[in-house]
């Protein structure tokens, strides 16, 4: 096997092993189940879901929201979800108040008690995500956090924290995050549109 193929195989094996470790902890399955319940309850009660994160986590936050407003698998009605990613808002707030306020300021403007914040941070220590979680907690907005290693500052603020597990690099954490995101979307769809999953 040449060096390139060894890198490819090694990367795939490492990703599989990391996912296997996550799956082997029953608490992780329970956390996903509990998080889905919180998200479903918010939507059932006419609440909205807001998602946020930085960098790759912002991309994941946007992916989560667009799958809910659009569709995941089969056609169905849209669900109320917004990723806090508008560049006008972000650049304005970052310039006038500081980057750490970009997500909390949006929640202050749009969020209401009964809504849910889906907060993503591989480190669990992103200041702007933490500030959003603090605002949410203090204003009747449930918080679902998606983090890396357990026991993070963000995780401790959350109603439910889903921790992918410690990793040397963020990409392994993000690979589990996208799997969790897809599972949550499916569980939400199954709750609201069971006919799409009848077989």
Digit-coded pLDDT (tens) for 101-125: 999 999 999 999 999 999 999 999 9
Collapsing DSSP states into helix, strand and coil, what is residue 151? coil
Q: Is residue 100 part of a domain?
A: yes
Helix, strand, or coil here: 193? Answer: coil
Beta strand 116-120 with 142-147 is parallel
Tokens of 101: 């306020």
- Distance separating alpha carbons of residues 130 and 124, to the nearest angstrom: 8
Euclidean distance between CA atoms 64 and 50, whole angstroms: 10
21 assigned to some structural domain: no
Query: What is the domain extent for residue 39?
Result: 27-193
Ramachandran bin of 110, using left for φ above 0, alpha for ψ from -120 to 50, beta for the remaining angles: alpha
Nearest to 101 by CA among 74, 130, 122: 130
- Does the residue 178 lie in any domain? yes
Is residue 199's pLDDT more than 80? no
CA distance 80 to 13: 37
Q: Give residue 98's region: left, alpha or beta (phi > 0; psi -120 to 50).
A: left
The answer to whether residue 130 sits within a structural domain is yes
Model confidence, pTM:
0.95
Q: How far apart are CA 60 and CA 94, in angstroms?
A: 21
The stretches of the chain forming alpha helices (DSSP H) are 3-24, 26-44, 56-69, 87-96, 102-110, 127-138, 153-157, 170-192
Separation CA 29–CA 43 (nearest Å): 22
Give 20-40 pLDDT, tens digit per residue.
999 999 999 999 999 999 999
Residue 75 domain-assigned (yes or no): yes
Task: Tell me the C-alpha distance between 12 and 150, whole Å.
Answer: 24
Please report whether residue 115 resides in a domain. Answer: yes
* pLDDT band at 1; cut points 50, 70, 90: low
Domain with residue 159: its CATH number is 3.40.50.10490
Residue 2 clears pLDDT 80, i.e. is over it? no
Structurally, how many domains does the chain consist of?
1
**Residue 198, domain member (yes or no):** no
Domain membership of residue 138 (yes or no) is yes
> Is residue 143 within 8 Å of 155, Cβ to Cβ?
no
Percent over 90 (pLDDT), the chain: 94
């Amino acid at each position: 096997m040449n060096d390139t193929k060894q890198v490819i195989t090694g990367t795939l094996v490492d990703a599989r092993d990391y996912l296997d470790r996550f799956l082997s902890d029953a608490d992780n399955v329970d956390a996903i189940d509990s998080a889905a319940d919180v998200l479903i309850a918010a939507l059932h009660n006419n609440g909205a879901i807001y998602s946020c994160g930085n960098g790759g986590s912002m991309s994941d936050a946007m992916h989560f929201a667009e799958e809910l407003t659009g569709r995941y698998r089969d056609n169905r009605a849209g669900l109320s979800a917004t990723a806090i990613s508008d560049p006008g808002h972000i650049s304005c707030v970052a310039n006038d108040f500081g980057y750490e306020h970009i997500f909390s300021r949006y929640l202050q403007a749009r969020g209401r008690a009964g809504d849910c914040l889906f907060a993503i941070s591989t480190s669990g220590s992103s200041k702007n995500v933490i500030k959003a979680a603090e605002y949410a907690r203090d204003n009747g907005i449930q918080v679902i956090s998606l983090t890396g290693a357990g026991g993070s500052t963000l995780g401790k603020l959350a109603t439910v924290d889903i921790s992918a597990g410690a990793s040397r690099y963020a990409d392994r954490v993000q690979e589990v995050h996208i799997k969790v995101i897809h599972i949550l979307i499916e569980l939400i769809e199954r709750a609201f549109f069971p006919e799409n999953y009848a077989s």
